Amino acid sequence: MQGQATWSKPMPHMLLEILVEEALKGNKPSSTFSVEKLSKKIGDVAFAIQSFSKNQLDVNELYTEVMKIEGFDEITLGDAFDHLVQHEMLAKTFMAKKC
């Protein structure tokens, strides 16, 4: 599923933070429509979503990689997968080393 962003729980909060920040700068909606300003804001939101989604753990990919490990039975590998899911930083480290 690489390249496909999902709208996770923190993202609406992130979008609201961006909008509040712009409002505090004085960039509030007006009767004048500015395509440039709207385009810039959409770009900012897209960048924030892209940055956030790159940092997400893909558990399906993690499962696939863990199950490829040779020399262990499926139950042990399943336990290792569960442990990695519960400890996201370890899982990300594992995935970085595997790729």
Model confidence pLDDT, tens digit, residues 6-54: 556 666 667 777 777 777 776 666 555 566 776 777 777 777 666 666 6
Better-predicted residue by pLDDT, 33 or 74: 74
Residue 95 has pLDDT above 80, yes or no: yes
Better-predicted residue by pLDDT, 36 or 96: 96
Average pLDDT over residues 92-98: 82
Q: Are 56 and 8 in contact (CB under 8 A)?
A: yes
pTM above 0.85, yes or no: no
DSSP 5-72: ----THHHHHHHHHHHHHHHTT----SS--HHHHHHHHHHHHHHHHHHHHTS--HHHHHHHHHT-SSS
CA dihedral sign of residues 53, 60, 97, 82: positive
The pLDDT mean for the chain works out to: 75
Q: Are 22 and 63 in contact (CB under 8 A)?
A: no
Q: How far apart are CA 5 and CA 49, in angstroms?
A: 7
